[in-house]
Amino acid sequence: MISQSFVEVRDLHAHVGGHVAIGGWVETTRIHGKVGFAVVRDGTGTVQCVFVKAEVGEECWSELASLTQETAVRVTGEVRAEPRSPGGFELGVTELRVVGRSEEYPIQPKEHGVDFLLDHRHLWLRSSKQRAGLKVRAEVEQGIHDFFYERDFVRIDTPILTGSIGESAGTLFETDYFGEPAYLAQTGQLYVETACPAFRKVYCFGPTFRAEKSKTRRHLTEFWMLEPEVAFADSDDNMDLQEELVVHLVERALERAAEELEVLERDPNALANVRAPFPRISYTEAVELLQREGSEIEWGSDLGGADETLVARQFDRPVFIYNYPTQAKAFYMKENPDDPRTVLCNDLIAPEGYGEIIGGSQREDDLDRLLHRIREENLPEEAYGWYLDIRRYGTFPHSGFGLGLERMVAWITGRPHIRELIPYPRLINRLTP
Ligand code: 4AD
Ligand code: MG
């Protein structure tokens, strides 16, 4: 029988001199004459287990020789402080039990191609850099919830199956809903807006879907988005909140995920400047800057990835670009009263080529102008009755934004492609595993 009283490797420091059992997976083994070693990972840490042939007995010694990569084991032994060991402790083994064999584990400690690794994503998750990246992701997610909870936001869970187009018709996943067309949510925004008059400050956080045909290192077809919405906040308040959040999340990762960032070889100095205030430039200023730098961009079109990188390079921290042309942005953004060719919105561009990590805006709160924009975009007006009701029954100024979790975490961890920062990436050519 397997005892349930396992000690977790992260807690070994509290058991020095004691006799404990750990349960985990074998990463490597080595045998030098009459002494052998097995490095065991239990999900909370990694520990070196030391076998002395004369002490463990014949059976245990031959079991050690049979261990292969990723065999599940239960190891019992004495906890010793050992500064030369990774983690600072080792286990002087008295007993070894194989719990589950692992024959010919596909991922070897050599270089594999990324397609091979993505095909084996279910196993690749166990590798140290992948573990570190996903741990930072979990830390950032928790940081998001804590940040908004501490500021009295109410979390609103928005639907995944929807009847109205959230962003634009171009990137929809359509499905059949008992004979009616339905779409996978591109955003939770329209729904979270409706909760503003109920709770004032709200946010949603969940998976969103875009049939993006682009094969870039910044695009997934399924990604997780945080979307706060605040009543009586204007576009400047909106940028203030984004700035506070981003500074907070970066600080938290540096503090609480320092070990993981080290595994990922992320230089913490790259994030040292992420402090308020972030520079804020208008779209028009950004276009002028880009034209000076040699870009072919014309006033009126959206910034491409290369343009974003070029703008970001001029600054030492994330930069806001605000008030884009109406035609470059979604229908729900508020017309800029000072320049009706533009809307009150912003993107937040991360340094180092990570591009747009946040898109936000003040919302069009005028019923007629909103209707006009819906018609202009050829969106099916009848699907938006409920959304327009927010403007019919006590309309009010409000603003919000969407932060793409994978892009944020890719930037914090310095990983080149956002696909590694989600457990199971969905890409244009990948639905498995
Ligand atoms: O700029 P977007 O499209 O904004 C919205 O969806 C609004 N409804 C948000 C709001 O105001 N509530 O997307 C927001 C963010 C982007 O800045 C980017 O970080 C991320 O979502 N994002 C993607 N991440 C990965 N793959 C994709 N295909 C992404 N598309 C957007
Ligand atoms: Mg955007």
Assigned token pair, 268: 């913490």
pLDDT bracket for residue 339 (50, 70, 90): very high
Provide the pLDDT for residue 169: 87
Q: How many Å from the N-terminal Cα to the C-terminal Cα in the chain?
A: 33
Distance, CA of 365 to CA of 167 (rounded, Å): 17
Q: Does the pLDDT of residue 135 top 70, yes or no?
A: yes
Order of all β-strands in the sheet with 174-177: 161-162, 180-184, 174-177
* Nearest ligand, CA 189: 1
What is the 3-state secondary structure of 222-236? Answer: EEEEEEEEEECCCHH
pLDDT in tens, 196-215: 999 999 999 999 999 998 88
pLDDT digits over 153-192, tens only?
A: 999 999 999 999 989 888 999 999 999 999 999 999 999 9
Cα 358 to middle of ligand 2, angstroms: 7
Q: Amino acid identity of 230? A: V
Instruction: Find out whether the beta carbon of 357 lies less than 6 Å from any atom of ligand 1.
Output: yes
Q: For ligand 1, is residue 334 a contact (CB within 6 Å)? A: no
| Sign for the pseudo-dihedral over CA of 138, 144, 145, 146 | positive
Q: For residue 401, which ligand has an atom nearest its CA? A: 1
Confidence check: pLDDT of 3 > 80: no
How far are the Cα atoms of 39, 343, 350, 399 from residue 364, in angstroms, in the given order?
A: 59, 9, 27, 9
335: number of CA atoms within 13 Å, CB side? 12
Secondary structure class of 382 (helix, strand, coil): helix
Q: Give the residue carrying structure tokens 């400690």.
A: 109
For 98-132, what is each residue's pLDDT tens digit? Answer: 999 999 999 998 889 999 999 999 999 999 999 99
Residue 2 has pLDDT above 70, yes or no: no
Q: Which of 203, 205, 201 is nearest to 185 (CA)?
A: 205
Task: Let me know the angle formed at the C-alpha of 141 by 305 and 139, rounded to the nearest 5 degrees.
Answer: 105
Q: How far is the CA of 356 from the centre of ligand 1 (A)?
A: 8
The whole-number pLDDT of residue 4 equals 59
> What are the residue boundaries of the structural domains of the chain, listed by start?
9-100, 121-421
Structure tokens given for 157: 């869970």
**Lookup: tokens for 246:** 């981003």
Task: Please state, rounded to an integer, the average pLDDT across all residues of the chain.
Answer: 96
Q: What fold, for 9-100?
A: OB fold (Dihydrolipoamide Acetyltransferase, E2P) (2.40.50)
Model pLDDT for residues 63-95, shown as the tens digit of each residue:
999 999 999 999 999 999 999 998 899 999 999
Strand partners, 97: 74
pLDDT of res. 5: 87
Residue 246 vs residues 85, 115, 216, 286, 421: alpha-carbon distances, Å:
36, 32, 24, 22, 17
The two tokens of residue 156 are: 């609103």
Q: Residue 291: how many CA atoms within 13 Å on its side-chain side?
A: 9
CA 227 / ligand 1 centre spacing (Å): 9
- Residue ranges of E strands in 258-353: 280-282, 319-322, 345-350
Tens digits of residue pLDDT in 379-423: 999 999 999 999 999 999 999 999 999 999 999 999 999 999 999
Percent of the chain scored above 90 by pLDDT? 95
* Contacts of 393 by beta carbon, 8 Å cutoff, 6+ apart: none
pLDDT recorded at residue 1: 46
| Distance between Cα 359 and ligand 1 center (Å) | 6
Phi-psi region of 169 (alpha: psi -120 to 50; beta: other; left: phi over 0): alpha
**Beta pairing class for 154-155 and 319-322:** unpaired
Cβ–Cβ < 8 Å for 299, 284: yes
Identity (one letter) of the amino acid at 10? R
For 411, half-sphere exposure in the C-beta direction (CA atoms, 13 angstrom radius) is 28
Query: Nearest Cα to 260, choosing from 127, 431, 393?
Result: 127
Q: Percentage of the chain with pLDDT > 70?
A: 99
Distance from C-alpha of 27 to C-alpha of 8, rounded to nearest angstrom: 16
Torsion, Cα 140 227 362 286, to 10 degrees, reads 50
Determine whether the shortest distance from the Cβ of 225 to ligand 1 is under 6 A. Answer: yes
Rounded Cα distance between 312 and 320, Å, is 9
- The 10 Å Cβ neighbour count of residue 271 is 20
For domain 121-421, the CATH class is: alpha beta
Residue 345 to residue 16: CA distance in whole angstroms: 57
Q: What is the pLDDT averaged over residues 221-247?
A: 98
Distance 137 CA to ligand 2 centre (A): 21
Pocket test for ligand 1, best of 225, 230, 239, 430 (most atoms within 8 A of CB): 225
d(Cα 392, Cα 365) in Å, to the nearest integer?
9
At residue 168, the pLDDT reads 87
Q: Using an 8 Å Cβ cutoff, are 84 and 122 in contact? A: no
Backbone angles phi, psi at 35, to 5 degrees: -125, 140
